[in-house]
Structure formats: C-alpha cells, structure tokens
C-alpha cells in the first residue's frame, strides 16, 4: 500500500465516503442476486428472473435528465435524503409473498435503479468538493476497489441470507445499508454553495448543457467513449464464457467460479494502483494502456490453453477498470461545479447504458458463431480503439470549451477532428 493510498484513507471525508460505499455496495450486490433467486422461486420463470437486472439497468438511459437534479440542489443533503427514501422503498418487498406480488419487486428495483443513477451523479460532484484534487485519482481507484470487492463477496451473502430467511430479510438488509450510507454522507464535512438561480429555463435546456459540455470537451469525450467501449466489449466477450469453458477448455460451467475471482483480483490491484500510475502518465495514456491490456486478456481467452486463459482473466480485471477510473477522475477535474451532476450522469449513461444491448448482441453471436470468433472480434476492436486513442493524443492541441479550466490533459486532440 502506497503512502498516497494511506493518505487517502486518513482523510476524514474520503474515509467516511469509502465506508458508505462499502456498506451500500454490500446491500445492493446482495439484493441484485437474491432478487433474481426470489423471482425464480416464486414464478419458476428464468426470463422473469432475468428482468431483475434489466430493472436496475433501465434508469441509466435517463441519466442526463436525472443528473440535472444533482445540479439544482446541494449534493450532501440530496444524498442523505435520497438514501433515506431508498431505504423506505426497500421495505416494500417485505409484502412480496406470491407470484402475484412479483410486480412490486420489479417496481421497487426500478425505483432503486433510478435512485442509484441520481446518487452516482451527486456523489461524483460531492467528491470534487470534499476530496483534495491531488488525492482523487487514488480515491477513485479505491472506490472502484471497494465496489468490486463487494461484488465478489456480497452475492454469496445475499444468496445465503435468502436461503436461510427468505427474500424479505435481504430487502431489510439492503434498506439498512441505505440508512447507514445516509449517515455516512451526513458526517462528510464540505462547504457547498447554494446552486445558482436558473430562472425559468426549461429542464431540457439544462439537461442539454451537460451533454453538450461533455461531447464538446477535447479531454472528456475520448475518455468517456473509451470507458463505454471497454464496457461494451466486456459485455460482448463475457457472453462467450460458458461456450469457452465447454468447447475450448472442456471444463464444467462451475469453472467460471475460478475465472471470476481472478478477474476480481485484477480489478482490486488496478484500483489500488490507479492513482500512482495516473501521476506518472496522462489519463488518456492510462486509459489506452488499460484498454489494450483488457483486449489482450480477451484474446488470450480464445486459446485452448488453460494457463493462458487464466492469465487472460487476470489481465481483463487489471485493464477494464482503467478506462472507467480515468474518465471519472477527468470529469471531476475538468467540469465546473454547477455542471458536474449533469456531466457525471451523462458520462455514466454513455459508459454503462449500452452494456445491456451488447449483452443481447453477444448472446446472439454465441448462438451462431464459434466463440473464438466472438472473442477475436472483441479483442481486435479493443486494440484498434486503444491505438486510435494513443495516436490522436499525439496530434493537434485544441483548446477546451467555454467553462472548462485548461490543463495539460486539455492539450490533447479531439478525436472527432
């Protein structure tokens, strides 16, 4: 653990925020798996069980609109209130006892998904005010590490709790974690100015401001597009996992339980080292290297040799977070405070909303193509975009759009030019 990482952990605001992320991530990850098991148990339908993830993912498309809320009020009170409301909402599934009640679970998860979009935007903006700029790269890496760690541990806890006490117990756990997250945000010390009065401007006008700023920014746009590309290719390649295990490695489906922890380990290492690496290179270079490493890991999975496939899984975990951490760190630095909620939400929409479509495309591909072709396509696309990102970064030097603060990163090329 580096000295800078220890400094992040000793920072009061950063430490409290990380505690809230860990607690909230525990409840959310446990519920996301348990809800699918719950629906399957009540209905016997695998397709309805799959809708659980869809409900949580769907509000991502409304990110630019939802993010506007985070720019109209102070962020810390908004986070406290939103988490308390989500805690109350999560008590509703206690009333789910039969197949006829399943609609209530879907409605609750959709509301929770919308709340998570709002809190993600507000958290990004709050971090920019509460955590010193020199610590944000390390901080964002640690946040990613905390989230990924919870994704590895919490689903097992959720499944065990469901088996022992049923779905309502998991819902209560998730509600309790929302309350604890609200308490954590309450104790963050930050000076927030009241939002600038916006008169009678239309909501759509304010929403468009965030999207316009992001898309015209020479630093942010390529980084966010790279993050979205990485997530799409990850979804596209992950659908080939079971075909790879069966046809390529002649292993049982349960062997995925070996690949997933390896990828998770890579993500943890990447998150812990992200800040130190971004101090030694530009965010664009960090993102390009991470995407290249991810793409090489995907290509390694196309081989029939188990040790190389295992190494590929580790490489995927190491590379995939880089593009996401680089993009959000740049968003926090480059975006004016009054736009930060909208820009962060728009960035999250661009990076995460397309993954559902990529999963559908990947599922269709694995049904009609050799899994190796699917992995080769995903890997080649990743390497190609990483090369474009690298070459473009060495070209012309445009200025940042109105409202942005010039930085060394802002001297990089706008890919669209």
pLDDT of res. 3: 60
pLDDT digits (tens, 9 = 90+) for 39-48: 888 988 877 8
- Quickly tell me which residue has 């995927």 as its tokens: 316
Q: Is the pLDDT of residue 396 over 70?
A: no
Long-range contacts of 364-370, Cβ-Cβ distance < 8 Å, separation of 24 or more: 365/236, 365/239, 365/240, 366/239, 366/240, 366/243, 370/247
pLDDT digits (tens, 9 = 90+) for 67-88: 999 888 899 999 999 999 999 9
Residue 23 binned pLDDT confidence (cut-offs 50, 70, 90): confident
Looking at every residue in the chain, the average pLDDT score rounds to: 85
Q: What is the mean pLDDT of residues 241-266?
A: 81
> What ranges in 62-186 are assigned the alpha helix state H?
63-67, 75-89, 102-130, 136-165, 167-186
Please state, in angstroms and rounded to a whole number, the distance separating the CA atoms of residues 141 and 156. Answer: 24
pLDDT of res. 231: 94
pLDDT digits (tens, 9 = 90+) for 336-381: 988 999 999 999 999 999 988 888 888 788 888 888 999 999 999 9
Query: Poorest-confidence range of 3-12, 17-26, 215-224?
Result: 3-12
Residues of the chain above pLDDT 70, percent: 90
pLDDT digits (tens, 9 = 90+) for 286-331: 999 999 999 999 999 999 999 999 999 999 999 999 999 999 999 9
Residue 4 binned pLDDT confidence (cut-offs 50, 70, 90): low
389: its two tokens: 């990102």
Residue closest to 220 by CA, chosen among 378, 68, 18, 403: 403
Cβ 276 vs Cβ 225: under 8 Å: no
For 187, counting Cβ atoms within 10 Å of its Cβ (0-12 exposed, 13-18 middle, 19+ buried), the class is middle
pLDDT of res. 410: 41
The answer for 412, left when phi > 0, alpha when psi is -120 to 50, beta otherwise, is: beta
244: which DSSP letter? Answer: I
Residue 176 vs residues 33, 74, 172: alpha-carbon distances, Å: 17, 24, 6
Please state, in angstroms and rounded to a whole number, the distance separating the CA atoms of residues 345 and 70. Answer: 9
Residue 110 binned pLDDT confidence (cut-offs 50, 70, 90): very high
pLDDT of res. 254: 67
Please state, in angstroms and rounded to a whole number, the distance separating the CA atoms of residues 86 and 83. Answer: 5
Cβ 9 vs Cβ 21: under 8 Å: no
Q: Could you count the other beta carbons within 10 Å of the beta carbon of residue 2?
A: 12
Q: What is the mean pLDDT of residues 18-43?
A: 84
The helix (run of H) or strand (run of E) holding residue 18 is helix 12-43
pLDDT of res. 22: 82
pLDDT digits (tens, 9 = 90+) for 83-109: 999 999 999 999 998 889 999 999 999
Q: What is the mean pLDDT of residues 219-225?
A: 94
Domains of the chain: 1-187 (1.20.1250.20), 204-417 (1.20.1250.20)
Please state, in angstroms and rounded to a whole number, the distance separating the CA atoms of residues 314 and 86. Answer: 35
pLDDT of res. 229: 95
pLDDT of res. 204: 81
Please state, in angstroms and rounded to a whole number, the distance separating the CA atoms of residues 125 and 338. Answer: 9
> What ranges in 90-130 are assigned the alpha helix state H?
102-130
pLDDT digits (tens, 9 = 90+) for 151-200: 777 767 787 888 888 889 999 999 999 999 999 999 988 877 777 645 55
Q: Is the pLDDT of residue 414 over 60?
A: no
Residue closest to 236 by CA, chosen among 366, 107, 328: 366
pLDDT of res. 196: 65
Residues of the chain above pLDDT 90, percent: 42
Q: What is the mean pLDDT of residues 31-57?
A: 83
Residue 113 binned pLDDT confidence (cut-offs 50, 70, 90): very high
Residue 415 binned pLDDT confidence (cut-offs 50, 70, 90): very low
């Amino acid at each position: 653990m580096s000295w800078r990482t220890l400094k992040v952990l000793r920072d009061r605001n950063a430490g409290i925020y990380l505690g809230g992320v860990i607690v909230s991530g525990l409840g959310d990850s446990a519920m996301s798996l348990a809800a699918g098991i719950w629906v399957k148990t009540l209905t016997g339908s695998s397709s309805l069980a799959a809708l659980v993830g869809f409900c949580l993912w769907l509000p991502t498309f409304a990110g630019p609109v939802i993010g506007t809320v985070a720019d109209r009020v102070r962020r810390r009170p908004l986070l406290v209130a939103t988490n308390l409301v989500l805690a109350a909402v999560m008590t509703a599934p206690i009333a789910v006892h039969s197949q006829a009640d399943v609609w209530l679970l879907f409605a609750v998860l959709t509301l929770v998904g919308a709340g998570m979009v709002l809190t993600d935007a507000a958290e990004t903006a709050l971090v920019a005010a509460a955590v010193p700029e020199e610590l944000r790269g390390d901080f964002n890496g640690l946040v990613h590490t905390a989230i990924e760690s919870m994704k590895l541990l919490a689903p097992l806890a959720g499944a065990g709790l469901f088996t022992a006490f049923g779905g309502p117990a998991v819902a209560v756990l998730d509600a309790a974690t929302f309350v604890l997250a609200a308490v954590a945000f309450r104790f963050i010390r930050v000076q927030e100015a009241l939002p600038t009065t916006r008169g009678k401007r239309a909501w759509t006008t304010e929403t468009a401001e965030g999207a316009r700023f992001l898309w015209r920014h020479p630093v942010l746009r390529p980084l966010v597009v790279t993050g979205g590309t990485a997530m799409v290719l990850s979804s596209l390649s992950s659908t080939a996992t079971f075909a790879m295990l069966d046809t390529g490695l002649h292993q049982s489906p349960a062997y995925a339980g070996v690949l997933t922890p390896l990828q998770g380990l890579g993500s943890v290492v990447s998150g812990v080292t992200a800040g130190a690496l971004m101090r030694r290179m530009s965010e664009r270079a960090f993102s390009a290297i991470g995407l290249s490493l991810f793409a090489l890991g995907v290509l390694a999975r196309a081989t029939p040799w188990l040790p190389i496939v295992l190494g590929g899984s580790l490489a995927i975990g190491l590379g995939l977070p880089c593009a996401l951490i680089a993009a959000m760190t740049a968003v926090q630095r480059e975006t004016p405070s009054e736009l930060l909620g909208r820009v962060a939400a728009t960035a999250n929409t661009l990076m995460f909303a397309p993954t559902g479509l990529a999963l559908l495309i990947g599922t269709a591909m694995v049904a009609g193509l050799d899994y190796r072709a699917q992995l080769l396509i995903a890997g080649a696309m990743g390497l190609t975009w990483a090369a474009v990102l690298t070459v473009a970064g060495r070209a012309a030097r445009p200025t940042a759009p109105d409202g942005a603060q010039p930085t060394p990163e802002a001297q990089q090329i706008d890919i669209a030019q």
